Amino acid sequence: MSDDLLDGVRSGDLRALSRAVSVVERDPDALELEPPRGVIGITGPPGAGKSTLINVLISRYRESGDTVAVLAVDPSSPVTGGALLGDRIRMQGHVDDEGVFVRSMATRGHLGGLSVASSGALSLMAEAGFDRVLVETVGVGQSEVEVMSLADVVVLVVGPSWGDQVQADKAGIVEVADVFVVNKGDRPGSQDVRKALLEVAEGKGARVLMTTATTGEGVDELAGEIDRLLG
């Protein structure tokens, strides 16, 4: 990667950042930077409301004056091989905000819930000076735990139908989570999932929070817990 392009990234040029991310997406070895600090990882099964929750977190951070960068890792399109962009579409409300940068990236067959180029993309976002850097994994199952190697705080978001999965997933994504969130907390079954997670969380010293992303309920508490964990 050219020094001029990196200089553009560090100056806060969003076009330069977009081009630089494309470079590492094509060639993950094109960048040699230290891994970023303070990355917030959002993971969980499909349909849990991760993107909607991130969208509300972005609004919350912007109200506090923080700039926000989000790497949304999407499944690969079976036709083009690119990202399906479902996550990015849910964050379109921030498209005209220069304090927000959202980039979708395809897994391109990579396992673990992320993309090979995720580390480089997150490093570039940190170099661009964003106050908050988040990464959203694809909808994960038991073994997609790669996010723990990139994020300083891992937030596991589940929905009200996930209770039966708690025991099965103890050795997977449950094990790497720093905070548990039962989203869609206004729906039947959410309290049952919370109770099922409490035993697991207690053994880790983690909290189980309830949110309803569509109304913003519980999001301030989640943001506060993330800040506490980041120290």
The alpha-helical segments, DSSP class H, found in the chain are 3-10, 14-26, 50-63, 86-89, 118-127, 165-168, 173-176, 190-204, 219-230
Q: Which amino acid is at 96?
A: D
Distance CA 222, CA 129 (A): 23
Domain ranges in the chain are: 35-230
User: What separation in angstroms does the CA of 93 have from each of 58, 78, 220?
Assistant: 10, 27, 19
**Measured distance between the N- and C-terminal CA atoms of the chain, rounded to whole angstroms:** 33
pTM to 2 decimal places? 0.87
Among all chains, which residue has been given the structure tokens 């964050």?
91
The alpha-helical segments, DSSP class H, found in 39-81 are 50-63
Distance CA 177, CA 164 (A): 18
Query: Is the CATH number of domain 35-230 3.40.50.300?
Result: yes
Tens digits of per-residue pLDDT, 113-130? 467 788 899 999 999 999
Count the neighbouring beta carbons within 10 Å of the beta carbon of residue 126. 19
Structure tokens at 175: 């094990």
Flag residues of the chain having pLDDT under 50.
Answer: 77-83, 109-113, 142-143, 168, 171
DSSP conformation class of 40: E
Dihedral angle, C-alpha 216, 123, 204, 225, nearest 10 °? -30
Q: 157 in helix, strand or coil?
A: strand
**Among 231, 219, 215, 186, which residue's Cα sits nearest to residue 58?**
219
Please give the pLDDT value at position 204.
Answer: 85
Among all chains, which residue has been given the structure tokens 């929750």?
53
Sign of the CA dihedral running 188, 193, 196, 202: negative
Please give the pLDDT value at position 6.
Answer: 95
User: What separation in angstroms does the CA of 64 have from each of 77, 145, 223?
Assistant: 36, 31, 11
